[in-house]
Structures are given as structure tokens and as C-alpha cells.
Chain A
């Protein structure tokens, strides 16, 4: 059996390597393409004008991306503000406080949330959430708040399932030790289990953040897409991804290149956020 499978193994390793390389090649091609298309126009009109300009009027060659950069960060932050407490609380409940049977029932249901297409989230937001905000809180309804709530719900399954996995990975001896020292169940969770599971929890939040900042369809539908710095949580906002998707269909010439430049900015922002988050995950808790 062993000797028979050896040449086979090599062949399969080679073919798998090729498949893996295809994926990396695609990534490289995408990166090169975005930068090749986006950088010239950034160089022409000045990096400063792109990053700090507040006017987005491509037909007048005015390509200020600041409202969209702020918009993306604001909406992502809002989504985390809603998604992280909810997600962590659900994960803690499902691993530490609920009965096995209940968590076995609830976990697949939560993971089902991840399978709902984003356009459905956007549609529900447009039909129910937006009118609700408009009638009760004021403004046009299409707003930072609406986008944050929708995104906060969309990142829940990512945060919950990864948090559950990492909390489950904490060995029971930790919990037993803590309880034996006289800690209550909640103290055990807060002071032993969560710190031990920290890197997994942060990983879940990073993946959720990635999903939030990259989400496009649902955001376009509920955010209102005004290319202006939002004055409040109830004002419409445009994210970087929406900017690209919204205008790609009709754009030509430098307008099109400016959309690729938007992609470059998004690319760099995501790299920075990932780097910071990884740093935070690795850092020892100070004590």
C-alpha cells in the first residue's frame, strides 16, 4: 500500500502545488492590475488631493476620496460596535452557559446567517430598517446608522463561530482550577477563559472587520451613498467599495482610473488594519 502510493503522491503533490500557485498568481495579477490602473491618475493629480480632497466630482476632474475613506472607517467601526458585543455575548452564552442541546440547535442556525446573500440583507434593510429610522429618528433613513446595523448583523456569524471554536479550545482544567480557587462561573469566564482564548477572539473580530469593510451590495442599498462627510449617524454616507461599484458601469477614462485608485486606497487601508489587528493579537496582556 505504502510503496504503491508513493509515485502517486508525488504526482498529486505536484498538481496541488499547481492549483495553489494558480490562486497566488490570480492574487498577484489582481494586485498588479489595480495598482497599474490606479497609480498613474493618483500621481497626476497628487496623492494629497486624493486622500484629503473633500470633493468627488469626477466629471470636473475632482477626485477627493476623504468622504469615502471616512465613510468606510465609520461604517466598519459602527458595525464592530454592534457586532462584537453581540457576537462575543452569544459565543460565551453558547459555550459556557447554555445546555449542550440548546447550543447544538442554535449554532447551525447562526451559521445559516452567513449563507444569506448580502443583497437580501440590503433589501430587508431598505424595506424595514430604513423606513423605521426615517420615521422614528429623522433624516432620510439611508444613513451611517442603517449601514452599521446591517453590517453588524452580517458579521455576527463570523465572529460567533470563530469565538466559539477558540473558547472551546481552552482546556477544562483551566475552568476547574479557577472554580476550585473559589471564583464564580462569570469570574472564571471573564478572568480565565476569555484571556486564554484571546487570540482566537481577535482573529474572529479581524475576519468580521474584513467582511464589514469589504461588503458592497448591502451597503449601497442602505447607506444613501452621498459623497460627503457625514454630519451625524443619521446622514447618508458612501464607502470606498460603494464608490467603485456605484460608478464603474458608466465610468471611462480618468474617472475609471480614479475608481481603480479608490481600490488602491482600500487595499492599503485593509493592509494597515490587518497589520494593526495582528499586532494587537500578538501583544501580551500587560501584567
Chain B
């Protein structure tokens, strides 16, 4: 190969990416003026939009707005309560945001939200906030409807999620590996499960991790050998909630205190609620709202309180 053709080969070797971009650059160069003017205009418009939205946000957080943030388990219900509240008080805006229990707790501490939502009990270093229980939720252990296993002890559930029992055969089921599906670290549902079922035991590393109750339910409803946990309120006919120590999860079993996997839905505030915030919390705790909770799969606060005091 002579030196000239070598050179031209060299040249073509480099063409790949360059020609790919140059083709596009040429267009820009040809109508540089238009592009320049356009991009400047777009830049200015974007900048002014940003400015506007920032100033809008600032003026928005006045007395007539309540910002609520936290657990995504509570969020859909809180959205409903906020809507009903705003129907009655048209001058008020209630802004419900998700983010998760932990970020809800942070948000109240840092005053970026008026009310935080947590679907797990507070940890020791979070106890400086005032807790108001607005409802209770059950935690259901779910399997595929076709699964012959119908009842498990709490110990068995713990061993399954710890990865010690790995085959349904041990539990009088089919000879198939168990697919364990859990929520991600930090989620309130996982936190509640860890606390109430696992205790100090670790959830197996081999478990499949998904980031919402809905996806866990979706996977369990499609995989015949899987097991997972979700909010009792979200259990539907596509999955089977198994009985724990012979007790099927139901509103009644939870109210009576027989079914143990229940967790509080908490509202968190920094100080004794006043004014609008108190009004909203009182509204959520009112009979009007509380009596609707069972339809949505939740358990009213008063029922548990009544059952609890009865037992005492």
C-alpha cells in the first residue's frame, strides 16, 4: 500500500463519527443567523419562565395553602380528603405531595411542609414531632390465587422472606421455588413489614425488589410461585391474601386486634396544630371522613381506639 492511499484510508477511518455530526452542523452554519436568534429567544423565554415560576411559588405559600408531604401509601387517600376539604373551603388550597415517609418527616422538620405523612412508626430520633393517627391499615401477605397454600404461621412467613424456606413443597405446596417479592429499602410498607414480621432478621438479598404496592401486586398476580406483601386496602381478586396463624386479614380481624399486621397512618406536625391546619386535621378525623374509610380498605381510628380500650 503506498503512502498516499494510506493517508486517504487514514482520513476515511476518522470519518465515521465526524461525518455523522458534520452533516448536522452544516445545516446550522448555513442558517446561523436564524438559529442564533432562535436559540437566544428560546433561552430568554425559558429564563423568564423559570423566573416566573419561582416567584409564583413564593407568592403561593401564603396562609391559604396547606402543604402535605410524605408516604405514598397515604397519598392517594390524602388526595381524596384534600379534595373534599377544598370543596367546603373554596378559598383554601391543599397541596398533597408524595416522596415517602422519611421525606415527609424531613419536610415537616425543615418546614417545607405543614403536615408530614408517615405510614410507619417514628424512630427514636424522630419522636420530637407530634403524631396524629388518622387511620389504620392492614398489611396482607399475598400469593397467586391458584396457590394451594392458604395459611402460614408468622414464623414461616419470616423464614420465607429471610430466604430459609425456598420451596413451596416444605409448606405443603407444589415443588417449585418461591419467588419472594418485596418493596425497596426506605419504603413505609417495607419498614412496617420489617418491624412487625422480620424483627431483627434480614430480608433475603435474593428477593425481587419493586418500588410500589401496585407493581408487587402485578407480579404476584402473574407468577404462580410468588409471595409478597401489600397494603390490605389494595388487595383485589387478582391475588390471594393468606391467613396468618389461621386468621384471614379483614377489617374486623384487625379492629379486634386478632390480625397483628397493622400499621398506623400518621399525620406529623411540629407544634400543636392551629388555624387552618387544625381545621384540616379535625376534618380528616371527623365522622364524615372516618366513616368512609372502610370502603377504601382502611380502618377508622375510633374503632381501634374503642376496641383497644375495651380489651384493656
Contact = CB atoms under 8 A, between A and B. Distances in A.
A55 to B, nearest CB: 7
Given A59-B186, A220-B211, A249-B98, A16 B13 contact: no
Contacts of B17: 162, 166, 199-200, 203
B102 A199 contact: no
B45 to A, nearest CB: 13
Contact of B33 (A8, A58, A224, A255): A8
A12 B219 contact: no
B195 to A, nearest CB: 11
B12 A169 contact: yes
Contacts of B219: 142
Given A8-B33, A250-B101, A170 B208 contact: no
Interface of A: 5, 8-9, 12-13, 15-16, 18-19, 22, 55-60, 67, 126, 131, 134, 139-142, 162, 165-166, 169-171, 196-204, 220, 224-228, 235-236, 238, 245-247, 249-252, 255
| Top 4 closest pairs, chain A to chain B, by CB | A200-B16, A250-B186, A250-B100, A166-B16
Of A13, A22, A201, A249, most B-chain CB atoms within 10 Å: A249
B39 A16 contact: yes
B99 interface: yes
Interface stretch (B50-58, B59-67, B199-207): B199-207
Interface string B10-43: 0011111101100100000000110011011001
Nearest to B212: A249
Would you call the interface of chain B mostly helix, strand, loop, or mixed? helix
A247 B19 contact: no
A165 B205 contact: no
Contacts of A227: 205, 209
A57 B106 contact: no
B72 to A, nearest CB: 7
Given A236-B208, A250-B103, A196 B12 contact: yes
Contacts of B14: 199
Interface residues of B, number: 47
Nearest to A140: B179
Contacts of A245: 211
A169 B15 contact: yes
Contact of A140 (B37, B40, B99, B223): B223
Nearest to A161: B20
Contact of A226 (B19, B37, B177, B209): B209
A74 to B, nearest CB: 16
B206 A228 contact: yes
Contacts of A59: 185-186, 194
Given A166-B16, A252-B103, 17 more contacts: A12-B40, A58-B186, A140-B179, A140-B208, A162-B20, A170-B12, A200-B15, A200-B16, A201-B16, A227-B205, A235-B206, A247-B185, A247-B186, A247-B211, A250-B184, A251-B102, A252-B186
Interface in B84-107: 98-103, 105-106
A5 B218 CA distance: 62
B33 A252 contact: no
23 contacts: A9-B32, A15-B40, A57-B202, A58-B185, A126-B218, A166-B15, A166-B19, A169-B15, A196-B12, A200-B15, A200-B19, A203-B16, A224-B209, A225-B210, A227-B205, A235-B206, A247-B211, A249-B72, A249-B100, A249-B211, A250-B99, A252-B103, A252-B186
A246 B209 contact: yes
Contacts of A228: 205-206
Nearest to B71: A250
Contacts of B133: none
Given A165-B19, A252-B103, A238 B39 contact: no
A203 B88 CA distance: 61
A134 B37 CA distance: 55
Given A19-B43, A59-B186, A134-B223, A225 B209 contact: yes
Nearest to B123: A59
Given A249-B211, A255-B185, A131 B16 contact: no
